[in-house]
Amino acid sequence: MDIHEYQAKEVLAGFGVTVPDGALAYSPEQAAYRARELGGDRWVVKAQVHAGGRGKAGGVKVCDSDVAILDASEAMFGMKLVTHQTGPEGKGVYRVYVEAAMPISREIYLGLVLDRTTQRVMIVASAEGGMEIEDISADKPDSIVRATVEPAVGLREFQCRQIAFKLGIDPAQTQQMVRTLQGCYRAFTELDATMVEINPLVVTEDGRIVALDAKMTFDDNALFRHPQISELRDKSQEDPREARAADRGLNYVGLDGNIGCIVNGAGLAMATMDTIKLAGGEPANFLDIGGGATPERVAKAFRLVLSDQKVEAILVNIFAGINRCDWVAEGVVQALREVEVNMPVIVRLAGTNVEEGQKILARSGLPIIRATTLSEAAERTVGAWKNELSQGIKIRAMS
């Protein structure tokens, strides 16, 4: 789960990280009022969306008057901010964050991520702040500083000092850097985060180290331990299909094709999508129903896949271990009887109770296309989709 910049700053400030003074606004007038509350003569207005690259897309403006703040926020509210991370559909702007402008001396990149190779938290930093880490890695790889943290002892002061030294931090500011790094690490571990990123982390002209921007991502599976973090979720920034699935305990990933996939297990989902592409099709999504899928759960999965207007065929691919093929078959039949499905449905079952599952599908009398192998299922799905597509083209041409 992602959260907004202002929320991440509030979280990090609670762990001792220094952040600029700022305030949230839900209208242009409120943004101007917030600036007057903050005081000063220069402010930064930032669109709050779950994406990076806001500055290049017009989502960050430096203002020096009430009129400039009103104009900048007026342009932001209601816009679809399109960045390299949002895709062409963009993300809606419904709130802005107003901060007092900072006198910046230098910028630093700082990130904490979960390194699955070493099974450790890795700190990634660079003296080239203000750039995307991908650009830093490509253009100036030697500037990147990496350090892994031993979970048994946590992030020690000597590691923080080593990082500060490699980044060229002034000795007088080293203790501030230690406090910032340890605060980020504590926030990461205590709140079950999967990423903490500050870009840029700035050194101000008066010698302070301040988090000028902040992003945090949390492990969805651990949110039950942190209700205060779960409440920060903003569904307006999420794919509505994925949000609906999450609310129903299902794992959904939206894609851009036309073939909906209902599977059990992420590995099988990846294999299914690859096989569909090899057969000449394009997956529209994959929905992982998980283990122990009841007929009701399978029916919910069908409704979610059908809610995507781009879906023109559905492939159900189940390899049952914990699951049972007869449960899945009952769910498919239940869904097709309750929901109007005017597209091909292909079902491939394997594993526990597969014979009973096949009998349920056969006895249903529904136009379900059955397959025994994944390659056969993918070929039949793509073939049925192309046939439906050609029929639709013929009908439109005749009309």
Annotated binding site: 46, 53-55, 99, 102, 107, 199, 213, 264
26: annotated active-site residue: no
Strands (E) across the chain are located at 22-25, 43-47, 60-63, 80-81, 91-92, 96-100, 104-115, 120-126, 144-149, 193-204, 209-211, 215-218, 251-254, 259-263, 285-288, 313-320, 345-351, 368-371
Q: How many CB atoms lie within 10 A of CB 135?
A: 11
Catalytic residue among 6, 97, 185, 197: 197
> Which positions make up the binding site for substrate?
264
Return d(Cα 28, Cα 30) in angstroms, integer. Answer: 5
- The sign of the torsion formed by the CA atoms of 308, 309, 311, 312 equals positive
Catalytic residue among 6, 97, 109, 252, which? 109
Give, in degrees to the nearest 5, the angle at Cα 13 between 29 and 33: 10
Beta pairing partners, 66: none
Q: Name the nearest CA neighbour of 354 among 333, 328, 331, 387.
A: 328
Return d(Cα 48, Cα 97) in angstroms, integer: 7
Distance CA 157, CA 159 (A): 5
Evaluate whether 80 touches 30 at the Cβ level (below 8 Å): no
Give yes or no for a contact between 43 and 100, defined as CB atoms under 8 angstroms apart. yes
Distance CA 279, CA 218 (A): 36
Residue list for the binding site for ATP: 46, 53-55, 99, 102, 107
- Check if 185 is active-site: no
HSE, CB side, 13 Å, CA atoms: give it for residue 360. Answer: 20
CB 257 within 8 Å of CB 282: yes
Could you give the residue numbers annotated as active site? 109, 197
